Structure 1
Amino acid sequence: MTEMKYKRNFCIVAHIDHGKSTLSDRLIQKSKIIDDRQMTNQILDNMDIERERGITIKSQAVTIPYHSKDGHDYELNFVDTPGHVDFSYEVSRAIASCEGALILVDASQGVESQTMSNLFMAMEHDLTIVPVINKIDLPSADIPSVKKQIEHDLGLDPEDAVLVSAKTGEGIDDLMEAIVSKFPPPSGNPEGKAQALIFDCHYDEYRGVIIHIRVKEGRIKKGDVIRFMSNGTDYKVEQIGIFKINYEEKPYLEAGDVGYIIAGCKTVSDVRVGDTVTLADNPADEPLPGFKEVKPVVFSSIYPMDSNDYEELKDSMEKLKLNDASLTYDKDNSIALGNGFRCGFLGLLHLEIIQERLERDYDQAVIFTSPSVEYNCTLTNGTEMIVDNPTEFPETKIKEAREPYISASIITPSEFIGSIMNLCTEKRGIQKNMTYLDEKRVELIYEMPLSEVLFDFYDRLKSYSRGYASFDYEVIEYRPTDLVKVDILINSKPVDALSFLAYRPGAVARAKKVCERLKDEISRQQFKIAIQGAIGSQIIARETVNPVRKDVLAKCYGGDITRKRKLLEKQKEGKKRMKMVGNVELPQSAFLAVLKEKED
């Protein structure tokens, strides 16, 4: 095994689209751990969705051998981190498993909000930080300005910044040397009591759960019985080793190493990210700090398009859950859509990813209901209850309802500040701070309800700022709100899958929008269809889908007006009777239109 002083553990943190996956490709290519024939772009992103969208969803780790200019062979353990705000807990665990962080900044975009929040996270864990300016080959790259931002916004020395182009490979050698010379070797005693941090895990259908660990103290070898400290379960180590894209088995891992354990765990839910692994026969005195349960913040129901496919959807959900421990789901039932599942997600991106994976990987045609957040309600009899589903909302018994608030950080070029402030105010945002980072960029801090961010907020933010504004948020607390349940009635029958919870003053506008959307989606029938939004028995919005009419007067040539009227009256009577027995079929696009409630 490599001596500890020749090991380096580091991660790359960056805002979305700053070139993190491309840079990791170059580092892997440089180390020649796989030959050029097998090399693909974004090699650490192994899901199709990750490649297409250019985002990292699951963090990966890889051990890179490097022969430095000082003649020594180093072992560089690189932990890749997800880039999106929904997965910030995974990022914090990946950061906790390293000693150094490369803060990647795009030479054309500059420092953005997630760059800053990830930097603060790295600082909390006392990591050594090296700034890296990427995309220097772009014609729009403005290196002097980005250096100023690194000094001013991040408080780092711009002279330390390594200039690279991950696309062309320029500057990668300097970066490898900086990793070796600037990052400290790991600390820890290989002879101490075993303590290892689980920073990720994934499911392999042949081997069960593969646990990604960073050993902090002691040594773990094949055959040892390990214990998870959060729930006290024991497992026997069947295989242990390091990642070199593929798995490379080793006899043991000791303090300072990053690698994997296969120990016969059946589902990802058994293994908790952030937990501490120790040996059952000689356990550590206390777990490593920072472990917490990840709680879902956005809730939505999933139903199969055809109710006969419920069992298939159930199997698909179970398989997805094997791979994604942060997905939670319970059985749910809707009068309109039949049996389905009520699911909890980490955020809207997580919801979209699950939706895409169900459709692609498992070939499921599904309907998602409108997403909502978790409300804390106090009832008139004093009991507390948590409501995340509109159908469970006890309208008449509510004494007080509280909704989750977020602290949102928006960094935008100063010319878009007016429209972005209007948007935040419209979304019930309270401005807490406004800082000019330099002459061109402003940071806005707003506190606003999470429920307001669920719809169209991100899209409008991007369109108002021409794509330049960046957005980052964290949930801070629950605050009282005036909450109502809005039902959508079609021909006076409520469709439970379309009902939603809303802030009372904004309920009318939102109900109107939903009714308008549905009017465009529901095809015309032989009878008139009324689409209504209602709070209790009070109708607050209405749209009408006009009937298709046969021209009953076509056979009347001339003649008396009374003959024509008689025919029209007869038709009218028929339409009335039809309406009494007529049921309206809702297409799937109707549910999707309500879900995608964007501005026209």
Structure 2
Amino acid sequence: MRNVADHKGRATLPDCLFRRSCYIAHMTNTPLSHIRNFSIVAHIDHGKSTLADRLIQTCGGLAEREMSQQVLDSMDIEKERGITIKAQTVRLHYKAKDGEMYVLNLIDTPGHVDFAYEVSRSLRACEGSLLVVDASQGVEAQTLANVYAALDADHEIVPVLNKIDLPAAEPDRIKEQIEEVIGLDASDAVMISAKTGIGIPEVLEAIVTRLPAPKGGTTKDALKAMLVDSWYDTYLGVIVLVRVIDGEMKKGQQIRLMGTGARYTVERIGIITPKLVATDTLGPGEIGFITASIKEVADTRVGDTITEEKHPTAEALPGFKPAQPVVFCGLFPVDAADFEDLRAAMGKLRLNDASFSFEMETSAALGFGFRCGFLGLLHLEIIQERLEREFNLDLIATAPSVVYRMNMTNGDVIELHNPADMPDVVKIASIEEPWIKATILTPDDYLGPILKLCQERRGIQTDLSYVGKRAMVTYQLPLNEVVFDFYDRLKSITKGYASFDYQITGHEAGDLVRMSILVNEEPVDALSMLVHRSAAEKRGRVMCEKLKDLIPRHMFKIPIQAAIGGRVVARETISAMRKDVTAKCYGGDATRKRKLLDKQKAGKKRMRQFGKVEIPQEAFIEALKIGD
């Protein structure tokens, strides 16, 4: 890759970063009144990324030959699944009907509940949001979650009804639904079809006329900028996405991150169109990127305040809490020789995903691996799939568990990520588990099975209301009961029509016990789990039955037991293979046969005492897929 030199002969950005620089030449020092920073929020699959494509296309951000479907979804896995995982930013130019030129900074956000953190931090960098609602499906659970996040960030919201070209579209009914459920005035909602381009000019006009300009100081003020996002680039190191509030950011400037106290020199500065394009400065209200020889994404805390080292700002921005992993599971290589490759692969993924955490652990059954923390089950699935596809690894994932809080008898409070590490029950005063507030939107026909499912999972109903023919149910649920297969069960009993969203509300004490699985009276640490005492017997029986079918027969009987402490709550026995020791006895005295059989029986008894049960890897993989 050839580098371009500046007028002093120094190497600067690679060639590709200078493309279309003429397009943005007039963008520096844009007045605040002509900047619009906005995000697109919606439920999964309501058309956020397609709308972003049309806006880029209409504003000329990319040439026709460079356009592709979901152009901002850069990962293969995003395109295949049709979901946005990482929030993406793009800067566009729009000439309004009044003849004025506007700068539009668009942030396309994810819709899935696991990536709500991406949404919240993107919203902090904007003043307004386009709320996209499917004109046939209407308001869904994640629509509510995202619009409330936008309202919390004091956003001006413009409702946009997408897919109006579908035969099933009912825009008037959906407008009423938006007003009923969310309380937003939807009488002047913009009607569009992001796929065909209907209504896109009206969306652009609504952005410049109905969304507010950013508030901020002048270029003469002390520099105050928010760190919105960061990602790792092989050539440039860590690229930091920033939103300038006050002052001006320039090349060569000495900056300080107020949260960590780290000091850097700005090496490159620019904007995303969606290519990286170099500029000299970033002024108030603008969103762009910088590089400053930062080695790791973990060094750049999202929400941190960037200021100038020599003339710092008086006070930092409030920032927001770092992403906390809520689901933990062990990842082990199928082939033990791949352990070092797995360690290197996880290190590379961590460079681009600061919310993914891991630490080494060992298991008697599975060997060396890592205990990993995720934002949710989809996040777990995405990371596992990326490790397998991008780094060509075969992995086993242990049963997912949540973070339990142990209140010890000596007054200490410890967090438990792995049920196998649970301390002696005598030393534990109480165990607290995380609870969530779950919102489920469903057609009325499926309400009964949903209520039954939530009751089975120890749910406490807090609200039930109707939005037209759809019911909105709110439940308090333990997260432990949700991480296994709650979402799959919900989708299957509602034929895919229900939508589900949750947020963690806190920890509550519960009657939780560790259930160990013993094979031939030896505990298998990879299969141990924390369960509620009322569900222990049922969960243990299912696990024992599953292992009975998965573990091959040996020359001796193998008992499979589920135990809580010293009490066995479920048991299955794999019968022994039998060799015909009497095959050579043709007739003769019956005592001769009896003698051989007794000898075989004694041998099997001894073998059972000292024999080792081989549990194949496939048995672990299948057993750990268990739900309820």
TM-score by structure 2 length?
A: 0.91
Task: Find 1:367's aligned residue among 382, 396, 421.
Answer: 396
How far off its partner does 1:430 sit? 1.0
Aligned length: 598
Aligned match of 1:200 = 229
Matched, 1:483 2:516: no
Shift of 1:212: 1.0
Aligned-partner Cα distance in 2 for 1:561–1:181: 101
Counterpart of 2:170? 142
334-343 or 397-406, which deviates more: 334-343
Local SS of the residue matching 1:448: strand
Identify the residue that residue 206 of structure 2 maps to in structure 1: 178
Larger deviation, residues 300-309 vs 208-217: 300-309
- Residue 442 of structure 1 and its aligned partner are, at CA, apart by 1.6
Q: Does 1:91 align with 2:85?
A: no
Native 8 Å contact 2:464 2:474 kept in 1 = yes
Structure 1 residue 18 corresponds to structure 2 residue 63: no
Deviations 1:321-377 (A, max 9, x none): 111111122221222222222221111111111111111111222222111111111
Residue 104 (structure 1) aligned to one of 132, 144, 147: 132
| 1:186 aligned counterpart, secondary structure | coil
Deviates more, 1:443-452 or 1:332-341: 332-341
Spell out, residue by residue over 1:550-587, the C-alpha distance to the aligned partner (whole angstroms, 9 max, x if none). 45566677777666655554544444344334322323
Match of 2:344 in 1: 315
Summarize the Cα distance change of 1:39–1:568 in structure 2 as closer, same or farther, 3 Å threshold: farther
**2:461 aligned with 1:427:** no
Judge which range, 523-532 or 69-78, deviates more: 523-532
Residue 186 of structure 2 corresponds to residue 158 of structure 1: yes
Give the match for residue 414 of structure 2: 385
The aligned residue for residue 19 of structure 2 is none
After TM superposition, give the deviation of residue 36 of structure 1 in Å: 2.3
Q: Is the 8 A contact 1:368 1:591 kept in 2?
A: no
Are the counterparts in 1 of residues 527 and 624 from structure 2 also a CA contact under 8 Å? no
Amino acid aligned to 2:257? F
Amino acid at match of 2:189: A
Report what 1:30 is aligned to.
Answer: 58
The alignment-based identity, stated in percent, is 54
1:305 has 2:334 as partner = yes
Preserved CA contact (<8 Å) 1:90 1:273: no
Structure 2 CA distance, aligned partners of 1:562 and 1:171? 94
Q: Hey, what does 1:119 align to over in structure 2?
A: 147
Question: 1: CA distance between counterparts of 2:64 and 2:550?
Answer: 51
Q: Which residue of structure 2 aligns with residue 46 of structure 1? A: 74
Q: Residue type of the partner of 1:198?
A: L
Trace 1:203-242 onto structure 2 (pairs within 5 A).
203-242=232-271
Report 1:48-87 matches (<5 A): 48-87=76-115
Inter-CA distance 216–55: structure 2 relative to 1 (3 Å threshold): same
Q: TM-score, normalised by structure 1?
A: 0.95
Give the CA RMSD over aligned residues: 1.9
Q: Which runs of 5+ in 1 are unaligned?
A: none
Q: Distance in 2 between matches of 1:192 and 1:456?
A: 53
1:582 alignment partner, one of 611, 616, 621: 611
Contact 2:237 2:295 in 1 (8 A): yes
**Residue range with higher mean Cα deviation, 519-528 or 530-539:** 519-528
Retained in 2: the 8 A contact 1:90–1:199? no
d(CA) in 1 for partners of 2:582, 2:45: 63
Counterpart AA for 1:58 = K
1:301 offset after TM fit, Å? 1.7
Structure 1 counterpart of 2:50, which letter? T
Matching of residue 517 in structure 1 with residue 560 in structure 2: no
Q: Which position in structure 2 is the counterpart of 1:409?
A: 439
Counterpart of 2:293 in structure 1 is 264
Q: Distance in 2 between matches of 1:556 and 1:150?
A: 85
C-alpha contact 2:548 2:572 (8 A) present in aligned 1: yes
- Report the Cα offset of residue 159 of structure 1: 2.2
Residues in 1 aligned to 2:131 and 2:582: alpha-carbon distance in whole angstroms: 76
Q: Residue 161 of structure 2 aligns to which amino acid in structure 1?
A: I
Match of 1:348 among 377, 401, 404: 377
Out of 587, 597, 600, the residue aligned to residue 626 of structure 2 is: 597
1:24-44 alpha-carbon deviations (Å, 9 max, x no partner): 122122223222222221111
2:454 aligned partner, one-letter code: C
